[in-house]
Homo-oligomer: A and B are copies of this chain.
Amino acid sequence: MTTPVRLRAVSAPDQPDVTPALEDLYRGFERELLVPLWTEIGDLMPVHPRSKARPHVWRWDSLRALAAQAGEIVPVGRGGERRAIALANPGLGGRPFATPTLWAAIQYLMPGENAPEHRHTQHAFRFVIEGEGVWTVVNGDPVAMRRGDFLPQAGWAWHAHTNATAAPMAWIDGLDIPFQYLTEAQFFQPGRDELSDAERATPDRSRAERLWGHPGLRPVSGAAAPDTPGSPLLAYRWAHTDRALADQLALEAEGYQGTLEPGHAAVRFTDPSSGGDVLPTMRAEMHRIRRGTETAPVRETGSSVYAVFDGSGRVSVGDQSWSVTRGDLFVVPSWEPFSARSQAGVSDSDSGALDLFRFSDAPVFEALKLYRTQSPGTLS
Contact = CB atoms under 8 A, between A and B. Distances in A.
Interface in A55-71: 56, 58-59, 62-63, 66, 69-70
Nearest to A56: B33
A189 B257 contact: no
Interface stretch (A158-166, A241-249, A319-327, A344-352): A241-249
A80 to B, nearest CB: 3
A340 to B, nearest CB: 14
B66 A32 contact: yes
Given A215-B233, A241-B214, A183 B365 contact: yes
Contact of A184 (B69, B85, B333): B333
Given A4-B94, A250-B210, A280-B369, A183 B361 contact: yes
Interface string A1-29: 11111100000011110010110110011
Contact of A221 (B28, B211, B266): B266
Contacts of A5: 88, 94
Interface residues of A, number: 152
A211 B258 contact: yes
Which of A37, A90, A211 gathers the greatest number of chain B CB atoms within 10 Å? A37
Nearest to A45: B188
A184 B94 contact: no
13 contacts: A15-B80, A33-B56, A35-B85, A36-B84, A45-B177, A213-B216, A216-B231, A216-B271, A229-B369, A272-B275, A275-B275, A281-B368, A364-B368
A122 interface: yes
Contact of A268 (B59, B81, B220): B220
B37 A84 contact: yes
A82 to B, nearest CB: 5
A51 interface: yes
Given A216-B236, A216-B270, A221-B260, A184 B14 contact: no
A87 interface: yes
Contact of A275 (B49, B185, B274): B274
Contacts of A3: 90-94
Given A32-B63, A44-B96, A96-B37, A267 B187 contact: no
B90 A33 contact: yes
A74 B368 contact: no
Contacts of A333: 184
Nearest to A32: B62
A79 B15 contact: yes
Interface in A145-178: 155, 177
A47 interface: yes
A238 B308 CA distance: 36
A96 B216 contact: no
Nearest to A152: B216
Given A38-B80, A248-B219, A180 B370 contact: yes
B219 A267 contact: yes
B81 A37 contact: yes
A251 B35 contact: no
B36 A79 contact: no
Nearest to A17: B73
Given A1-B91, A48-B188, 16 more contacts: A4-B90, A16-B74, A25-B69, A33-B58, A34-B58, A36-B84, A41-B79, A41-B80, A185-B302, A210-B247, A214-B247, A216-B269, A217-B240, A220-B268, A221-B259, A274-B274
